[in-house]
Amino acid sequence: AQSVTQLDSQVPVFEEAPVELRCNYSSSVSVYLFWYVQYPNQGLQLLLKYLSGSTLVKGINGFEAEFNKSQTSFHLRKPSVHISDTAEYFCAVSGQGAQKLVFGQGTRLTINP
């Protein structure tokens, strides 16, 4: 069975500061990893995904994540955040052949001016 742990439920940062949102996964088979963002009163939007290949994945809106198999982590980073990045961020995992996503509990990112 697969599971995802997002280590921080809330992360407050100042505008233009860097941010890292942490995600650890558990799986006995090959995994595919995703980060989604949910703005208030909206659905989910894919930020980036790791399927194979380079462990550093770049996504939309200046976000990137690094897949670390030995640490079973897939942390999301942005070097300089903006007020518009205020949202909830979800890490998710899917297995080979599996079509469902297993989500973490989410991290609420709050940007202070």
Partner 1 sequence: EAGVTQSPTHLIKTRGQQATLRCSPISGHTSVYWYQQALGLGLQFLLWYDEGEERNRGNFPPRFSGRQFPNYSSELNVNALELEDSALYLCASSLVRHWAGGPPYEQYFGPGTRLTVT
Using the structure block, give the residue that is written with the tokens 């998710």: 92
Is 2 strand, coil or helix? coil
CB of 110 to partner 1, least distance (A): 18
Among 73, 81, 68, residue whose Cα is nearest residue 37: 81
- 22 versus 49: smaller Cβ distance to partner 1: 49
Nearer to partner 1, 7 or 15 (CB): 7
Q: Which residues bind partner 1 (CB under 8 A)?
A: 32, 36, 41-46, 49, 51-52, 90, 92, 94, 96-106
CB of 76 to partner 1, least distance (A): 16
- Helix (H), strand (E), coil (C) string for 33-68: EEEEEECCCCCEEEEEEECCCCCEEECHHHCEEEEE
Q: Give me the least distance between CB of 52 and partner 1, in Å please.
A: 7
